Amino acid sequence: MSATDVEQVQTGEQVLPFYIVCDESASMAYNGGIDAINNGLPDLHASIASDPLVNDKSRICLISFSDDAEVLCPLAPASDIDALPGVMEKGATSFSAAFRLLKTQIAQDIAMLRADGFQVFRPAVFFISDGEPTDSNWQDSHRELTDKSLNPHAPNIIAFGVDRADADTIRQVGTIAAFLAEQDVNPGNALKEIMRALTNSIVQSSSSSNPTLIIPPAPDGTISLPLDVMDET
């Protein structure tokens, strides 16, 4: 199957859920990341809500993480959202908190959509971080989220790293694509391009009657990272 699998064969209207997961660690305030994300969110919302087909075929959810993770905007059509709330500076960088919340939230959201009669495509996650995780066991939570043998609702993850993010870590987070800002690019400027790229990805993915996840090209100021190939064990 393609990157956008159908979660379950149903006959209802097709929808593709998108989860935007943003790092709120303290460093994101110092390097301009918080401002760049908050400036990009209104454009993302307007671009989706203003296109009737894109609005019908997509659902968006905003999640933030630092010491803990929280849903800032529950999954919904963009037109049902008055405005996306902004992210803010907090503390550490717990990847595990983000992955655990995603696993729980995606399962709940898919159940809700199916109960409403929708045919649900495998969700897409845009994961944004500017540094190394502060929790040492984040790979376990990531595996529980992304291993389809453990989680039938495992999402496709597109990971973006800026500033002090490590290439190997971002590569491990992404399941279908990973991008890293180049070292000579201002993190805030890189995140402006990342927000533009993920907005375009959502619009392009949802602009037909049959949604198909479109992986964005490397945003300006970033490089595409090759994903790891799993060893046979």
* pLDDT for 11: 59
H or E segment to which residue 39 belongs = helix 33-49
* pLDDT for 51: 97
What is the rounded distance in angstroms from the CA atom of residue 213 to the CA atom of residue 186?
Answer: 29
User: In which band, very low, low, confident or very high, does the pLDDT at 12 lie, cut at 50, 70 and 90?
Assistant: confident
What is the rounded distance in angstroms from the CA atom of residue 66 to the CA atom of residue 79?
Answer: 28
DSSP letter for 76, please. E
Ordered domains of the chain (ranges, CATH): 14-224 (3.40.50.410)
* pLDDT for 228: 65
What is the rounded distance in angstroms from the CA atom of residue 189 to the CA atom of residue 31?
Answer: 10
* pLDDT for 136: 87
Cβ 52 vs Cβ 208: under 8 Å: no
Q: Report pTM.
A: 0.93
Q: How far is CA 148 from the centre of its chain?
A: 18
Cβ 30 vs Cβ 187: under 8 Å: no
Asked whether residue 92 carries a pLDDT value surpassing 90, the answer given is: yes
Cβ 75 vs Cβ 125: under 8 Å: no
Start-to-end C-alpha separation, the chain: 24
* pLDDT for 227: 84
Lookup: tokens for 108: 């709940």
